[in-house]
Amino acid sequence: MAPLVNILLCSIGRRVELARLFKQAYQRTGIKGKIVGFDINPTAPALWEVDKPYIVPRLNTPEYLPALIDICRKEQINLILPLIDYDIPVLAQNKTAIEETNATVCVIPEEMVSVVNDKWATYQFFTQLGVKTPKSWLPETLNNETLSYPLFIKPRQGSASQHTFKVNNQRELEFFIDYVPDPIIQEFIPGAEITNDVMCDFTGVMQTFVSRQRVEVRSGEVNKGVTIFNEGICRDSSKIAAALQAVGPITVQCMQKDNTPYFTEINARLGGGVPLGVAAGVHSLDRLLQIAAKQPIPPSQFGSYQTDLYLSRFDDSRFLTPNDRSQMAQNRYKN
């Protein structure tokens, strides 16, 4: 009898391609199950790709958590995956209560949330772990530091590359320290930006790995990219995942300077560029389903995927009549 794994994709939004990739993973593995997805907006395009859509209360309302738990019970969810950064603290803080439904929440421990959400804490984490990271300062720690320009400034807590700037001189630094909310200042790394998709088992051991060099980015998500492999990046990504006690997917960001990687950020969720890794032969979603199903899995072979494979994204559209929208709105969660 085929194993059963039902998954819940939180804040599914525009992740149409991801829902389709999960359907393919079910087919390849022979694992049975349904894809449940929820969002706050009935026009979210990916809601039309899942087996069971829900319209749920907003994340920051008291109604959200009871709705999430009730959906897990009703749909017999086995695996919960956050898709946006805002989901992570809520899932981590309430993991024990959620997992009483027999679902596994793919989220880092609550005590590690600040490590990924606060860029200063991320810098300290990388430093303590012994992986290379750009030199960093807070405005109050600059003092009389001798700074070499250019520098880079960004919010300590932020996403989608908002309020991030290259700083060319002292005058610009003074301006951006006032302009950027709660900033962190970093050494500017001029090389390629690389996103590393890591899939862990439920004990923090890396199971799949793929590196994607960003060629073009739109609103913080890769629009064009190409697969690469660097053994040192792979080794350090595994070290980071283990220290983070990651469960399921995370992405680790680094920049290259003189062919040396400098780690900069962590997103404790599935990255938007996962389809490129799958196309290159890294079936991370298959592996995740197999782990959840407690199936035996073959040893990992890091670096065996196709490199120099390019992703070039384009927009697509879904057209909804008033009746279509009303029909989807009928999936609004009711307790």
179 and 200 in a common domain: no
Domain stop point among 159, 187, 215: 187
CB within 8 A of 61, min separation 6: which ones? none
Q: Domain residues for 163?
A: 135-187
208 and 153 in a common domain: no
Residue 22 CA to residue 284 CA, distance in Å, equals: 10
Evaluate whether 186 touches 262 at the Cβ level (below 8 Å). Answer: no
Residue 2 belongs to some domain of the structure = no
198 and 100 in a common domain: yes
Residue 124 belongs to some domain of the structure = no
Residue 71 belongs to some domain of the structure = yes
Longest dimension (CA), the chain: 68
DSSP helix/strand/coil, 335: coil
Residue 270 CA to residue 275 CA, distance in Å, equals: 10
145 and 25 in a common domain: no
207 and 174 in a common domain: no
The domain that holds 180 is classified in CATH as 3.30.1490.20
Residue 212 CA to residue 223 CA, distance in Å, equals: 11
Residue 129 belongs to some domain of the structure = no
270 and 195 in a common domain: yes
Residue 87 CA to residue 85 CA, distance in Å, equals: 5
The DSSP annotation for 262-310 comes to: EEEEEE-S--TTHHHHHHTT--HHHHHHHHHTT---PPP-TT-SPPS-E
Per-residue pLDDT 10s for the chain (335 aa) are: 778 999 999 999 999 999 999 999 999 999 999 999 999 999 999 999 999 999 999 999 999 999 999 999 999 999 999 999 999 999 999 999 999 999 999 999 999 999 999 999 999 999 999 999 999 999 998 876 778 999 999 999 876 667 899 999 999 999 999 999 999 999 999 999 999 999 999 999 999 999 999 988 877 677 899 999 999 999 999 999 999 999 999 999 999 998 899 999 999 999 989 999 999 999 999 999 999 999 988 888 899 999 999 999 988 899 999 999 999 999 999 88
CB within 8 A of 258, min separation 6: which ones? 191
The domain that holds 281 is classified in CATH as 3.30.470.20
Residue 55 belongs to some domain of the structure = yes
202 and 99 in a common domain: yes
pLDDT of 125-170, one tens digit each?
Answer: 999 999 999 999 999 988 767 789 999 999 998 766 678 999 999 9
Residue 91 CA to residue 3 CA, distance in Å, equals: 26
259 and 144 in a common domain: no
209 and 182 in a common domain: no
Evaluate whether 5 touches 34 at the Cβ level (below 8 Å). Answer: no
Residue 71 CA to residue 65 CA, distance in Å, equals: 10
207 and 104 in a common domain: yes
CB half-sphere exposure, 116, CA atoms < 13 A:
29
Q: Which of 227, 331, 325 is nearest to 274 (CA)?
A: 227
76 and 45 in a common domain: yes
Residue 23 belongs to some domain of the structure = yes
pLDDT of 36-50, one tens digit each?
Answer: 999 999 999 999 999
Residue 130 belongs to some domain of the structure = no
208 and 174 in a common domain: no
DSSP H or E stretch at residue 115? helix 113-117
- Give CA 3 to chain center in angstroms: 27
Residue 121 belongs to some domain of the structure = no
Q: How many domains does the chain have?
A: 2
